[in-house]
Amino acid sequence: MKRKIFKKIFGFAVAIAVLAAGSLIVAYNLFYGSAVEKDYSIFVSNCVQYSDFTAEVKKNINSSLKNRAFDIYAAHLNLESRLKAGHYVIKSGQSVISIVRMFVLGEQTPVRLVIGGARTLPQLAGRISKQIMADSTALLTALRDKELKAKFGYKRDSIIAMFIPNTYQVYWTITPEQLLERMSREYNAFWNENREALLATTKLTKYQAMTLASIVYEETKNRAEMPKIAGVYINRLRKGIKLQACPTVKYAMGDFALTRILYKHLRYDSPFNTYRNAGLPPAPICIPSIAAIDAVLNYDKNNYLYFCAKPEFDGTHNFARTLSEHNANSRKYNEAYKRLNK
């Protein structure tokens, strides 16, 4: 009789142990098992509503029980008050516990920030604001801030010259001030010993080289012709001849849709109009490509003073040493243009 009772008690105890073990396994799986089936990213701003944030996270968690586990562990770590803004990538197979801890610790994944092509500070601010958390107003304020400009050596000049076109890895939460710090470091790294040596041969400052490169870049996207065009402009600068660069007229007028510069446009009164003013304009007219910057540093040492688009409209140019040669090239282009637009 006693043996039977013992067996029953023992069997009951084993059953309880099995059930307890099973519960532990289930609980372990809920908190430590895979909670997501594919990678996805989420952007958390400073003003996000916690309920909206959790709803976004939980819609990608693969079961309602694990959603509950997320709520339990998030409450345990007080995630609502500790949530940090940022761009987060949740990986396939990641557990509830690792997801919550990632947000608590602010373990962000960088974003790709593409810099290039912008012509004005407002345009630059607008493009950057689409890639990071800071809005265009905050970015533009920083770009125009006198103290910040002075910090990086741009007292009167435009800080747009400090932006080297490239793709950078940055945190989505980077502030405008931190962004300028980063761009300053990238700018200094760009101007390495080799480029510094080439710069000396141009007799230009870095700022002037960036400004000239911006004109070259706006004149042509043909990389093979860039050094030749740079050589023309350096020749004109050294001889004291006005650059007479059509892209500077478009910039001065703020009309970047102009497809043809007419005589009436050349009279537009602006320090950027190189038909009216000698030397380089007071600032770059765009963020030039690295190819255009290097074209200025490796400018073609030619004797040309003029260039004109070819009548074949293939994006290349005819170059001339004298005004009479240039006028002949211009006539051919104008005649072809009229025939094309009849």
Alpha-carbon gap, residue 125 to 205, rounded angstroms: 26
Q: What is the pLDDT of residue 21?
A: 40
Q: What is the pLDDT of residue 70?
A: 86
β pairing state of 86-90 and 111-115: unpaired
Spell out the domains of the chain, with CATH numbers in brackets.
Answer: 27-105 (3.30.1490), 111-190 (no CATH), 193-302 (no CATH)
- Nearest CA-CA partner of 251 in 211, 278, 291: 211
Q: What is the pLDDT of residue 27?
A: 59
Alpha-carbon gap, residue 307 to 292, rounded angstroms: 17
147 within 8 A of 180, measured Cβ to Cβ: no
Q: Count Cβ atoms below 10 Å from residue 340 Cβ, excluding itself.
A: 9
Q: What is the pLDDT of residue 1?
A: 53
Per-residue pLDDT of the chain (342 residues; tens, 9 = 90+): 545 554 444 343 333 333 334 444 555 667 676 767 889 899 999 989 999 999 999 888 888 888 898 899 889 999 999 999 999 999 988 888 899 999 999 999 999 999 998 999 999 999 999 999 999 999 999 999 999 999 999 987 789 999 999 999 999 999 999 999 999 999 999 999 999 999 999 999 999 999 999 999 999 999 999 999 999 999 999 999 999 999 999 999 998 888 788 888 888 889 999 999 999 999 999 999 999 999 999 999 999 999 999 988 888 999 999 999 999 999 999 888 888 776
